[in-house]
Amino acid sequence: MTGENAELERAVHRATAKGDIVDLRTGSPERDEPAQGGTWSADRSIRAEVLIDVLTDERTISAGRRKAVRLRGVRVVGSLDLESATLLRPLLLQDCYFDQPLILHEANALAVRLLGCHLPGVAANQLRTRDDLDFTKTTINGGAVHLRGAHIGGGLWFTGSELHNPGGFAIFGNLLTVEHSMFCRNGFIARGEIRLRSASIGSQFSLNGASLSNPDKAALDGSRLHVGKDMFCKDRFTCEGELNLDGALVDGTLLLREATLRNAGGTAFSFRSGRARTMGFQLQEPPLGAVVLTNAQVEEFDDESETWPEVIWLRGFKYDTLRNETISVRSRLNWLTRHPDGFAPGTYDNLATAYKQAGQAEAARRVAIAKHWRRRRELKLPGKLWNWLLYLTVGYGYRTWLAGLWLAGLLLVGAAVFADAYPSDMLQASTTVPAFQPLAYSLDVLLPVVDLGQQRSWLPQRGAQVWSWAMTAAGWVLATAVIAGIGNVMRRE
């Protein structure tokens, strides 16, 4: 050990006892850049064993005072291996460089803050902290941050950090628990997968302005993630690879605003069976890849038609309210057709229900009619013909006034035909009959439940008889369509 090293180690002990910081920066931004820490001179280096001793040895604690270990601009030489250790002091390292990964497996700590540091990895499975775990503006190259099963008593900070492990894990945090918020924002970069399966974040999860990249794979796998308040992916958030939140539960708002999602040929965003109170989906541009909302549930859904995906899986997607009322019913119906898995009646039912709850009865009727129209494509020929008939005559029961128009038209046509046939083709049934009335005769023939005495008293001949048969058949068809249509609406109600 050189004299300089020994003096530095004594200085660390003295500063720690007082709660002071040991700052070895030179004042030159280039020379103090942590990425260049491997070239720093020996007088800026401290052995990892010294830090372990200061952090864990009860003898370093004076009168029960647990001052933090504070270093800045220092190179940590060797393995800072604190596996299963109890850290008696908070650890605060700023603008420091590590030769080897920081090891905190199964450790117990007060708080660990590595700010603006540079290191090859963090191994902290089952770590427990009473306060924050903070990696603000820290760069981790070639190794993941392992936090499987860790329990962070405060917040987890990656604000402005860079994690580089392409093809591997940037963060591996299955079953991670964060009591407060998790921040991966303001320039956060992750090259490699962030995996947070079945993790729990007590308050907010912010990815605002973050850039995630793991092409053709999951960039963020948060399946079964629980967020106690809001999850934000906005302010130019970008994700190259799949953003997977299948089965996730967001107690507040799940917001993707001014976000860019790209996973060509695959799924860009998946929220299958997920739940959120409010979901905002206003992207910077249409996503490159499919969006999956199958069986997801939200109370409020806020989107923009300009950035809808080409393919969006909507079967079983439940929402109570559509916030964006500027999107027309026609556009909403186009939105439903982007579901690729054939005709899904429930997607139309849910849209109609949302309109109905918003007091937009006409919009709900239009959706219901569109549902039956779309169903026609799935039917064989007889069914298609009947479906056409219900659509044209009563609008599947949602526009029964159409039957009145058909009735009026047939009455006028029939009256004209029978007026022209009288008297040559209209014979009296007996010697005493009421005077022939073309309009009344037409109504008597057309409506099966009406008896005005005209049809019994006058017998049509030749062409008039054919018209009489045709109008009787039309009347029965209209009556059947009205009954079927009304019955259909009542069943839906």
Tell me whether residue 392 is in a domain.
Answer: no
The pLDDT, as a whole number, for residue 400 is 59
DSSP string, 372-399: HHHHGGGS-HHHHHHHHHHHHHHGGGT-
Q: What token pair was written down for 415?
A: 């009256």
User: Closest Cα partner for 204 from 187, 173, 225?
Assistant: 225
Alpha helices in 358-458 (DSSP H): 361-375, 381-394, 401-421, 438-446, 454-457
The pLDDT, as a whole number, for residue 420 is 72
Query: Under a CB-based contact definition with an 8 Å cutoff, are residues 117 and 93 in contact?
Result: yes
Does 17 share its domain with 67?
Answer: yes
Domain that holds residue 417: 397-492
Which of 349, 377, 405 represents a domain boundary (last residue)?
377
Q: Crossing angle, helix 329-337 and helix 361-375, to 10 degrees?
A: 30
Query: Under a CB-based contact definition with an 8 Å cutoff, are residues 143 and 101 in contact?
Result: yes
Other CB atoms within a 10 A radius of the CB of residue 290 amount to 20
Tell me whether residue 482 is in a domain.
Answer: yes
Tell me whether residue 428 is in a domain.
Answer: yes
Does 339 share its domain with 409?
Answer: no
Does 27 share its domain with 91?
Answer: yes
The pLDDT, as a whole number, for residue 162 is 98
Tell me whether residue 387 is in a domain.
Answer: no
DSSP class of residue 436?
P
- What is the C-alpha separation between 190 and 184, in angstroms, rounded? 9
List of the chain residues with pLDDT < 70? 1-4, 60, 62-65, 376-409, 429, 448-453, 455-456, 472, 475-493
Does 315 share its domain with 418?
Answer: no
State the total domains in the chain: 2
Does 303 share its domain with 442?
Answer: no
Does 406 share its domain with 364?
Answer: no
DSSP class of residue 361?
H
Tell me whether residue 384 is in a domain.
Answer: no
Does 271 share its domain with 323?
Answer: yes
φ and ψ at residue 86, rounded to 5 degrees: -105, 115
φ and ψ at residue 45, rounded to 5 degrees: -110, 145
Query: Under a CB-based contact definition with an 8 Å cutoff, are residues 58 and 51 in contact?
Result: no
Which residue's entry shows tokens 């439903």? Answer: 336
Please state, in angstroms and as integers, the Cα–Cα distance from residue 408 to each residue in 331, 403, 404, 478, 483, following that order. Answer: 34, 9, 6, 12, 18
The pLDDT, as a whole number, for residue 65 is 66
Tell me whether residue 462 is in a domain.
Answer: yes
Which of 343, 377, 411 represents a domain boundary (last residue)?
377
Does 404 share its domain with 370?
Answer: no
Strands of 11-50 (E only): list them: 21-23, 45-47
Please state, in angstroms and as integers, the Cα–Cα distance from residue 219 to each residue in 194, 210, 212, 397, following that order. Answer: 6, 12, 6, 49
Which of 377, 408, 439 represents a domain boundary (last residue)?
377
Please state, in angstroms and as integers, the Cα–Cα distance from residue 193 to each residue in 114, 197, 199, 304, following that order. Answer: 21, 12, 15, 29
The pLDDT, as a whole number, for residue 8 is 87
- What is the C-alpha separation between 471 and 412, in angstroms, rounded? 12
- What is the C-alpha separation between 266 and 218, in angstroms, rounded? 10
The pLDDT, as a whole number, for residue 168 is 96
Please give the helix or strand (H or E) that residue 64 lies within, else none: none
Does 229 share its domain with 313?
Answer: yes
What are the percentages of helix, strand and coil residues in the chain, rounded to 5? 35, 30, 35
Tell me whether residue 361 is in a domain.
Answer: yes
The pLDDT, as a whole number, for residue 2 is 44
The pLDDT, as a whole number, for residue 405 is 64
Q: What token pair was written down for 184?
A: 């991966």
Tell me whether residue 213 is in a domain.
Answer: yes
Does 299 share its domain with 197?
Answer: yes
Does 96 share its domain with 173?
Answer: yes
- What is the C-alpha separation between 433 and 455, in angstroms, rounded? 11
Does 371 share its domain with 404?
Answer: no
The pLDDT, as a whole number, for residue 377 is 60
Residues 6+ apart with CB under 8 A from 473: none
